[in-house]
Amino acid sequence: MPAVRLTDVAVRAGVSLATASRVLNGSLRSPAESIAVRVRAAADELGYVANAQAQALARSATGLVGLVVHDISDPYFSSIVRGAQSAARERSSQVLLASTDRHEQSEVEAVKAFAMYRTDAIVLAGSRGAHSDQALTRELQRYTANGGRVVTFGHTAFAGSRVVEVANEDGGARLVAALVDRGRRRFAILGGPEELVTTQHRVAGFRRALAAAGLEPLLVVHGDFTSDGGRAATEACLEAAGPGTEGADQPLCLLAVNDVMALGALAAVRSHGLAVPDDVEVAGFDDIPTLRHVDPPLTTFRLPLEEMGRRAAELALATEEPGPVHIEGEVVLRLSAGAER
């Protein structure tokens, strides 16, 4: 049951292939309306569906954008993807998705695959180490050399990549500054995987604001970017600096590097029989929509995740070199830390 081809449509409409193509796919030249009507009718009757592969081959542009994320089930990434997908749709592009589980190998393979599919652009949503994998860099370089566009978040890891700058460090600093403002003095940091620049930037922001107040984190624990990671890191913190330890007359404030970890921290604190925020305070990062209703409400730094995805896709799909994109966020003080009671 071979699909209907443009040729079939042309024959049925009694016109040439060229004319049919011009009518059905917005070319610069459009044939006379009388003919156009005939062609469209023929296409309709036959149930013609253009073959994007053939078009891609002929046009050398695929209308595809590749998105690589660490973990699509992480709400941070899924929000970004939502925005990106939506922007792509508006530009009638399709999204090719790869979720790599943070394995460099998978990332490299994703980029290779996207290169094979000749995606018009690749968006690398998961942050990488500062001096990234050799293989990845090589693939990306080859990709850009062949005319592909690359977009990254938060840092310029690759020559020639367009970047969506995210206020990770600044956000971290502002969040901590707000907490310090409200009198907090004892902080511990629940960091994500150490090699990810997102972690690095956020932690750097935390430290900068602390330093500005003459403070220093009591502890920095690196864990997984998950609830369980947050939970485990929190255990370590409570052990080292919880109530009963030296200086514990001042409440401890746990700075998680994202909301999901903060949720784990909440659980860990509870399971120690401690109360948030009375005994221990907890702050997150991102302001994940799904987690807006957790109890107690999380103090966090809100990032417009969906917009970030959207902007990334726009950057990816822009044909002329666009200006820099800068994403700001805002401190959101809620009950879990630093808020008025």
Partner DNA sequence: GGGAGCGGAGAAAGCGCTTTCCACGCTACA
Partner DNA sequence: TGTAGCGTGGAAAGCGCTTTCTCCGCTCCC
Q: What residue ranges bind its own copies (CB under 8 A)?
A: 1-3, 47, 49-54, 56-57, 62, 67, 71-75, 77-79, 81-82, 85-86, 89, 92, 94-99, 101, 106, 109, 112-113, 115-118, 142, 145-147, 227, 231, 260, 263-264, 266-267, 270, 289-295, 306
In whole angstroms, the minimum distance from the beta carbon of 93 to its own copies comes to 9
How far apart are the C-alpha atoms of 227 and 208, rounded to whole Å?
Answer: 26
The answer to whether 71 touches 101, Cβ cutoff 8 Å, is yes
Cβ nearer to its own copies, comparing 173 with 280: 280
Binding partner selected for residue 328 from DNA, its own copies, none, CB under the kind-specific 5 to 8 Å limit: none
Please report whether residue 18 would count as binding DNA according to CB under 7 A. yes
Q: How far is the CB of 82 from DNA (least distance, A)?
A: 30
Q: Which is nearer to DNA, 18 or 41 (CB)?
A: 18
b/e for 256-292, b at 16 or more Cβ within 10 A? bbbbbbbbbbbbbbeebeeebbebbbbbbbbbbeebe
Q: Cα–Cα–Cα angle for 299, 288, 196, nearest 5°?
A: 95
Cα angle 99, 89, 30 (rounded to 5 degrees) comes to: 135
3-state secondary structure of 96: strand
- When the beta carbons of 166 and 173 are compared against its own copies, the nearer one is 166
Residue 17 site contact among DNA, its own copies, none (CB < 5 to 8 Å, cut-off depends on kind): DNA
User: Closest distance between DNA and the C-beta of residue 88, in Å?
Assistant: 20
- 41 touches DNA by CB under 7 A: no
* Single-letter code of the amino acid located at 314: E
- Residue 292, binding choice from its own copies, DNA, none, Cβ under 5 to 8 Å by partner class: its own copies
Q: Are strands 162-166 and 64-69 parallel, antiparallel or unpaired?
A: unpaired
Count residues near DNA (CB under 7 A). 30
Which CB, 9 or 84, lies closer to DNA?
A: 9
Given the complex with its own copies, which of 169 and 306 has the nearer CB atom? 306
Contacted entry of its own copies, DNA, none for residue 79, CB cut-off 5 to 8 Å set by kind? its own copies
* Exposure of 66 in the CB half-sphere (CA atoms within 13 A): 27
Which of the choices its own copies, DNA, none does residue 81 contact, using the CB cut-off of 5 to 8 A by kind? its own copies
Q: How far apart, in whole angstroms, are the C-alpha atoms of residue 119 and residue 121?
A: 5
The answer to whether 201 and 171 have CB atoms below 8 angstroms apart is no
Who's near 215: CB < 8 A, 6+ residues apart?
Answer: 180, 185, 187
Output b/e per residue, 130-150; b: 16+ Cβ within 10 A: eebeeebbebbeebbeeebbb
Q: Which two tokens stand for residue 201?
A: 């930037």
Among DNA, its own copies, none, residue 286 binds (CB under 5-8 Å by kind): none
CB of 116 to its own copies, least distance (A): 4
Nearest to residue 187, comparing CAs of 220, 222, 214, 212? 220
User: Which of these ranges, 20-28, 81-89, 202-210, 224-232, lies near DNA under the rule CB under 7 A?
Assistant: 20-28
Site for DNA in 45-84 (CB under 7 A): 48-51, 54-55, 57-60
Residues near DNA (CB under 7 A) are 2-3, 5-7, 14-19, 21-22, 24-25, 27, 29, 31-32, 35, 48-51, 54-55, 57-60
